[in-house]
Amino acid sequence: MKVIWNTTFITRLTALALCLCLTLSLCIGCADTQPSMDNNPIDENIVNVNTNKITVNNPLIWSDIPDPDIIRVGDTYYMVSTTMFYNPGVPIMKSTDLAHWEMVGYVYDTIENTPATDLVGDNECYGQGSWAACIRYHDGYFYVLFACLDQGKSYIFKTEDIENPDWIRYDFNRVFHDATLLFDDDGRVYVVYGAGNVHITELEPDCSKVKQGGVDQLLFNTGICEGLDGAEGAHIYKINGKYYITMISYRTNGDCSRCEIVYRSDKLLTGWEGKVVLCDSMGYYGNGVAQGGIVQTLDGDWYALLFQDHGAVGRIPCLQPVTWEDGWPMMGKNEDAAVEVKVMSDKDSWTESTFMADDEFDYAENKLGLCWQFNHNPDNDNWSVTERPGYYRIRTEKTEKDIFHAQNTLTQRVEGPYSTTEVKLDVSGLNPGDYAGISAFQTWAGNVGVYVDEDGTKKVYFETIHRTRGGDIVNEEVIDQDEIYLKIEYKFSEIDEEGKITTQDQARFYYSLDGTEWVKIGKGFTMTYDLDLFTGYRTGLYYYSTTEAGGTADFDYYHTYKGLQPEA
């Protein structure tokens, strides 16, 4: 399929592209380095102006990368993020210049095997799984900490080589909510965590367990900062002898829905005070930029990597400069407004980073690319990319009632402001009562695919379905062939000539019998970001049986790109 681009779209997308990836560029830092406390005012929206560098805009990456945490080890930067019920879990992203990012792995393949994580019967763990991971580096080891509320547990994974890891895993039978690790100068190690009330718990020096008789107490209530007692998402640092904790809070007044707070103290266990350091939405529906870590670059500059709710696409990362004022890491411009334009790169040219990827499913071994995550735990006996070479095959072993209970649904992020997904599907292995296709997947899902009637008739269909309320087939048409092409176009935002962003959150669904002539099916679909999943929309490749298990669905390829094909 040939994508048709217009000049206005290219201009806007190019500008946005420059904003997406390079924003990430200056953000990851090492807590071992000492900051400059100089008051370096920011010239309007531009940071570190240098004619040998290029500038990009927020958002950093226009995709769902919530709760980011980031470190610098030498000249390499690593970032982790929340992925909840998707597996493998806790992605690890790498950059050598903070402008160009790539996925290098995950912390785990599956975290537990329970009826909920395995989608047994009506059990599921949507909105659960890994929350708000923290990454740190200390004495030759990388550490990743996170909690799983559905398991009532927290986990620490550590390895000497994060890109080729041999993970050591430690389990804790308590929930450290939105936790952060501190390796203090005296060799003691702490977890700081909580919402509203911030707690601190001491660990053994190797992080293997809670230290018996160690510190385990309330640290402070976040309401000490201007009454904002709903703060969470802690990230702790020791900088120039002072302790700092960054957190996100819902603002108690004003038009901004969230703000970033910093708490600080000269002593770890007492004397904490708080200050709002950023409360701004960059003009986007009052959705404040907040929650994340701060980092120092090799050049000595400081940045904060935060996220912003951006409608159905999810929580997208935004980079903000940090200026030290009277010992406080103030974010954004001096007047406490988020910066839209800021990141620089020493590269001669910049290519937008993306975590979307084409896939021809041409693998020598039964292992998928890093762009993919399963919805819940996979059933590894019933998916393959080698059983039929060049295809992602799903085989059903049991019957299910809908897509939300279908195992081996394979998902990939989509991106704003516009992106498109296309697949080729072979349905010759479907049995009566079987459904297969692609989904714009969230609590309200839009599905386009093929199902087989009791008499063996194949029908291409479009349905909208809610995770708990069920759904309906909106359109269906009989087909008399086994191969079909399916496509979803996502339009998350509209950008006018002045660069103003307005939310659209619309998806369109198509099918084709030859891969050239496309037929729109359905009247379109309004996407919503719902907190019971807590994730942005993804494209899901699904197959499930409602009457008799044992069939197969084969996906020949997966193609994705930024942009839309205009309607005829």
pLDDT score, position 40 = 31
Q: Which two tokens stand for residue 169?
A: 């895993």
- Which alpha helices (H) appear in 440-510, and where do they start and end? none
Q: Is 421 helix (H, G, I), strand (E, B) or coil?
A: strand
Residue 84: DSSP 8-state = B
Q: What CATH class does 28-345 carry?
A: mainly beta
Residue 523: is it exposed, middle or buried by C-beta count within 10 angstroms (0-12/13-18/19+)?
A: exposed
Q: How far apart are CA 217 and CA 209, in angstroms?
A: 16
Q: How far apart are CA 387 and CA 409, in angstroms?
A: 17
Residue 15: CB atoms within 10 A of its CB come to 13
What does the mean pLDDT of the chain come to? 87
CA-based torsion, 402, 406, 409, 413: positive or negative: positive
Residue 21: CB atoms within 10 A of its CB come to 25
| Residue type at 529 in one-letter notation | Y
Q: Report the chain's C-alpha Rg in angstroms.
A: 24
Q: Which two tokens stand for residue 420?
A: 């498109």
The answer to whether 44 and 35 are in contact (CB under 8 A) is no
pLDDT score, position 334 = 54
> Of 501, 540, 157, 209, whose CA–CA distance to 378 is shortest?
540
Mean pLDDT by 10 residues, the chain (568 residues): 34 38 34 34 31 59 94 94 97 84 96 97 96 97 97 98 98 98 98 97 98 98 86 97 95 79 97 94 87 90 90 92 94 67 50 86 96 98 98 97 97 96 98 98 98 97 96 95 98 83 93 97 92 95 98 98 66
pLDDT score, position 282 = 84
- Structure-derived torsion over alpha carbons of residues 440, 445, 450, 452, reported in degrees to the nearest 10: 160
Residue 557: is it exposed, middle or buried by C-beta count within 10 angstroms (0-12/13-18/19+)?
A: middle
pLDDT score, position 351 = 60
pTM of the model: 0.88
User: Which CATH number is 373-562 given?
Assistant: 2.60.120.200
> What is the 3-state composition of the chain as percent helix, strand, coil, each rounded to the nearest 5?
5, 45, 50
| Location of each CATH 2.60.120.200 domain in the chain | 373-562
- Report the side by side order of strands in the sheet with 153-159: 130-138, 141-148, 153-159, 168-172
Q: Which two tokens stand for residue 163?
A: 């890109």
pLDDT score, position 70 = 95
Give the model confidence (pLDDT) of 129-165 as tens digits.
Answer: 999 999 999 999 999 999 999 999 999 999 999 999 9
DSSP states along 164-192: S---EEEEESS--TT-EEEE-TTS-EEEE
The answer to whether 375 and 127 are in contact (CB under 8 A) is no
The strand pairing partners of 322, in sequence order, are 302, 331
Q: How far apart are CA 111 and CA 121, in angstroms?
A: 20
Give the model confidence (pLDDT) of 440-459 as tens digits.
Answer: 999 999 999 999 999 999 99
- Is the bond preceding residue 321 a cis peptide, omega within 30 degrees? no
Cβ-count burial 257-275 (b if 16+ within 10 Å, e if not): ebbbbbbbbeebeeebebb
C-alpha pair distances (Å), 438 with each of 445, 507, 567:
10, 13, 20
| Location of each CATH 2.115.10.20 domain in the chain | 28-345
What pairing do the DSSP bridges indicate for beta strands 76-80 and 69-73?
antiparallel
Q: How far apart are CA 319 and CA 211, in angstroms?
A: 36
pLDDT score, position 335 = 47
Q: Determine the straight-line distance between the first and last CA of the chain, rounded to whole angstroms.
A: 14
The answer to whether 406 and 395 are in contact (CB under 8 A) is no
